[in-house]
């Protein structure tokens, strides 16, 4: 019996999601003249400026010009895809246009950036985000390495009998490199909630109990798709607020943007140094 396309495994290059990523990669290659990118980064809340120190931005493409990408709905997300040449001559693809699960465009849209990165030839996927902190060792403005995740979206970017191992999903090798650059960096388990609402204090207590240190609305689904596509994954969060009930004041997106601005120079330098050391 013939399977419907939507039921086929996403490891199949003919799957519509992979064809869409190949079209995006072709558009990026055409707009930049760069046939292969080595590294890709997705910039989350607070990380919008952080790619500037990585190298020279040679091309900047509005996300709406690349198949499958959408203009950002979130303030503080640039909505562009850029190509950067690092000092060592590597090519970095910077995806400043993340589709979040809460936008309701489906999981394939959420991981389109990751699949496009793989189709552009990238070997490494760097996922950044802004998030809430649960672990009392953390405070607003602190970058934290993601050591593992809890995917609480109740879905997967993969379909079909595609059983992907997620042990050591967040590259121990690159985490070690990061700590060799800044030995004060802490690590934590990231909990991806579906959003778009923030949590209640009771939910935050539950998440702490099940082992979460960080909570946000991205990254886990993207990391799964990246691993499935064979990429080495590195995740880093900027704690922009302490989670509901841990911080005394109500949560708002303005503090998220402000924390990003305040931490900007430190996290930019850190990201640039990590990429230079890969
Ligand atoms: I920035 O406290 C940011 N994103 N779910 N909770 C959730 N997402 C976030 C939070 C937070 N802060």
CB–CB of 28/121 below 8 Å? no
Per-residue pLDDT tens digits for 134-174: 999 999 999 999 999 999 999 999 988 889 999 999 999 99
More confident residue, 206 or 163: 206
Per-residue pLDDT tens digits for 94-104: 998 889 999 99
Q: Whose C-alpha lies nearest to ligand 1, atom 5?
A: 216
For a ligand 1 pocket test, name from 101, 216, 242, 255 the mutation site with the most ligand atoms within 8 angstroms of its C-beta.
216
87 part of the active site: no
Question: Could you tell me which residues come within 8 angstroms of residue 1 by beta carbon, excluding any fewer than 6 positions away?
Answer: none
Q: According to the model, what pLDDT value does residue 115 have?
A: 96
Q: Whose C-alpha lies nearest to ligand 1, atom 9?
A: 216
Residue 131, ligand 1, Cβ within 6 A = yes
For a ligand 1 pocket test, name from 198, 204, 242, 252 the mutation site with the most ligand atoms within 8 angstroms of its C-beta.
198
Other CB atoms within 10 A of residue 181 CB: 15
pLDDT at 69 over 80: yes
Among 50-54, 153-157, 220-224, the minimum mean pLDDT is found in 50-54
Domains of the chain: 9-277 (3.40.50.1580)
Tell me what percent of the residues of the chain surpass a pLDDT of 90. Answer: 72
The whole-number average pLDDT for the span 229-247 is: 94
Active-site residue, from 35, 60, 103, 199: 199
Question: Could you tell me which residues come within 8 angstroms of residue 252 by beta carbon, excluding any fewer than 6 positions away?
Answer: none
Q: What's the rounded Cα separation, in Å, for the pair 103 and 73?
A: 8
Q: According to the model, what pLDDT value does residue 2 have?
A: 40
CA 215 to ligand 1 center in whole angstroms:
6
Residue 203, ligand 1, Cβ within 6 A = no
Question: What are φ and ψ of residue 207, in 5° steps?
Answer: -65, -40
pLDDT at 13 over 80: no
């Amino acid at each position: 019996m013939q399977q419907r396309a939507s039921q086929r495994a996403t490891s199949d290059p003919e799957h519509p999601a992979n064809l869409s990523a190949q079209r995006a990669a072709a558009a990026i290659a055409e707009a930049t003249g760069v046939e292969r990118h080595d590294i890709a980064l997705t910039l989350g809340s607070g990380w919008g400026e952080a790619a500037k120190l990585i190298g020279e931005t040679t091309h900047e493409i509005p996300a709406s010009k690349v198949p499958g990408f959408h203009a950002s709905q979130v303030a503080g997300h640039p909505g562009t895809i850029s190509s950067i040449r690092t000092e060592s001559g590597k090519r970095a693809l910077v995806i400043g246009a993340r589709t979040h699960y809460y936008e309701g465009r489906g999981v394939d849209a959420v991981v389109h950036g990751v699949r496009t990165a793989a189709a552009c030839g990238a070997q490494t996927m760097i996922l950044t985000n802004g998030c809430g902190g649960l672990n009392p060792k953390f405070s607003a403005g602190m970058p934290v390495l993601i050591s593992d995740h809890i995917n609480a979206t109740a879905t997967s970017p993969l379909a079909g009998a595609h059983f992907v191992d997620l042990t050591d999903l967040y590259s121990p090798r690159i985490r070690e490199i990061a700590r060799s650059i800044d030995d004060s960096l802490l690590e934590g388990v990231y909990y991806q909630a579906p959003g778009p609402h923030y949590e209640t204090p009771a939910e935050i207590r539950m998440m702490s109990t099940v082992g979460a240190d960080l909570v946000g609305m991205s990254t886990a689904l993207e990391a799964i798709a990246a691993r499935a596509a064979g990429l080495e994954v590195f995740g880093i969060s900027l704690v922009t607020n302490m989670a509901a009930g841990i911080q005394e004041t109500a949560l708002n997106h303005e503090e998220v943007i402000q924390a990003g601005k305040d931490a900007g120079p430190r996290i930019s330098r850190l990201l640039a140094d990590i990429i230079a050391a890969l």
